[in-house]
Amino acid sequence: MPDPTPETLLVSTEASVTTITLNRPDALNALNATMRGELLAALRAALRDPETRAVVLTGAGRGFCSGADLRGGSGEREFRRVLRDEYHPIVELLRSMPKPVVASVNGVAAGAGMSLALAADLVVAASEARFVPAFHRIALVPDSGLTRTLVRAMGRHRAFEVLLGERSLGAEEARDLGLVAAVVPADELPATTHALAERLASGPTRTIGWTKRLLNAAEDADLGTSLEAEAALQEVAGRSADHAEGVAAFAEKRDPSFGGR
């Protein structure tokens, strides 16, 4: 696991769920260079940790993440380098990690914070959470995968209106658009998110990872490519211990006990 005392994160593991909390509440958890480095390290540690079978990403205080730290100095303005070296590896790891990742959005998710939240596999939001593109307000283009995410979720014209309409998406509208899985009262958000993550963590972890790979590939693949990828991974899944357990549990009319293997 990562450094037990990172400057900008809180990291804990319970019931096979690793929770990573962005912890700069006074700055609405803005992503400075230190946080980006520590977040990538924490995600890599969760990837390697055999005890971690699901990841929750959330924010401390009243916000999830307000995006890039605009007070971070001249280094933050080396846009291509910062995006390629620091943001892109985080987004790519969230998307490719063969373990489920749940974003628990407790408040505003703005700019790259919105990109970060929507890179998760599932998003659970507090009823007062808001998703704010924000890039246009400072004459920047969306980054960290946000254009791709929104176009695939809602189509080009709706994505244009959201990105350039200088407005935010409330939690319920984001749910209606397919970006959020569930909206709950703020005081129920941690328990609801952790229960969902525990359920995923108790599932067939390798199969979940393979399904995630197929979903990522299917976004751009033609039908034939998707069919072949499904067939190839089904052959692998069919030889797993969890598959054998699932079949046995079905025959014995009991709940399966998956070991993630």
As annotated, the active-site residues are: 88, 143
4-to-8, 41, 60 alpha-carbon distances in Å: 11, 12, 17
Pairing of strands 101-105, 122-126: parallel
Helix axis angle, 241-252 to 205-218, nearest 10°: 110
User: What are the DSSP E strand ranges found in the chain?
Assistant: 9-14, 17-22, 54-59, 63-65, 101-105, 108-110, 122-126, 130-132, 169-170, 182-184
Residue 17, burial from CB neighbour count under 10 angstroms (0-12, 13-18, 19+): buried
Sign of CA dihedral 31, 34, 40, 43: negative
Contacts of 8 (CB under 8 A, 6+ apart): 22, 23, 24, 32, 34, 35, 38, 39
- Other beta carbons less than 10 A from residue 92's beta carbon: 12
Buried b (16+ CB within 10 A) or exposed e, 158-169: ebeebbeeeebb
Phi, psi (deg, nearest 5) at residue 46? -65, -35
- Any idea which residue has 């970006």 for tokens? 179
Pairing label, strands 54-59, 17-22:
parallel
CA separation for the pair 233, 216 (Å, rounded): 14
